[in-house]
Amino acid sequence: MEMDSSDKYPGRDSTQPGLEVDTYYQAPKPVWGGESTAPTEVAYQNCSAPERNGRKTILGLSILVFWSIIVLLIVILAAGIGGGVGAGLAARKNTCSSVNSPNTGGAAAATVTLQPTACTSSSSSGSSPSAASSTTPTTVAATVSPAPSSPCTENPGVNGTSTTPLAANGSPISLNNDDQVFRILCNTNWPGGALYGNPNVMDIMKVWTSDLTQCVALCAEYNAGLANNGGDSGFCRGVSLVVNEGEFCYLKNGTGHNDTTTSGSVGYVSALLL
pLDDT tens digits, 224-259:
999 999 888 889 999 999 999 999 999 999 999 998
Q: At 139, is the pLDDT very low, low, confident or very high (cuts 50, 70, 90)?
A: confident
Give the number of other Cβ atoms within 10 Å of residue 9's Cβ: 14
pLDDT digits 0-9 by tens, 76-106? 988 888 888 888 777 776 655 544 444 444 4
Burial of 102 (0-12, 13-18, 19+ CB in 10 A): exposed
pLDDT at 271 over 90: yes
Give the number of other Cβ atoms within 10 Å of residue 236's Cβ: 22
Distance in angstroms (rounded) separating the CA atoms of residues 217 and 225 = 12
Report which DSSP code applies to 97.
H
Q: What pLDDT does residue 85 have?
A: 82
Instruction: Please answer whether residues 242 and 211 qualify as being in contact, where contact means their C-beta atoms are separated by less than 8 angstroms.
Output: no
Distance in angstroms (rounded) separating the CA atoms of residues 229 and 39 = 95
Q: What is the mean pLDDT of residues 19-48?
A: 54
Q: What pLDDT does residue 131 have?
A: 46
Q: What are the structural domain ranges in the chain? A: 151-273
Q: What is the mean pLDDT of residues 50-71?
A: 74
Instruction: Please answer whether residues 208 and 107 qualify as being in contact, where contact means their C-beta atoms are separated by less than 8 angstroms.
Output: no
- Please tell me whether residue 96 adopts helix, strand or coil conformation: helix
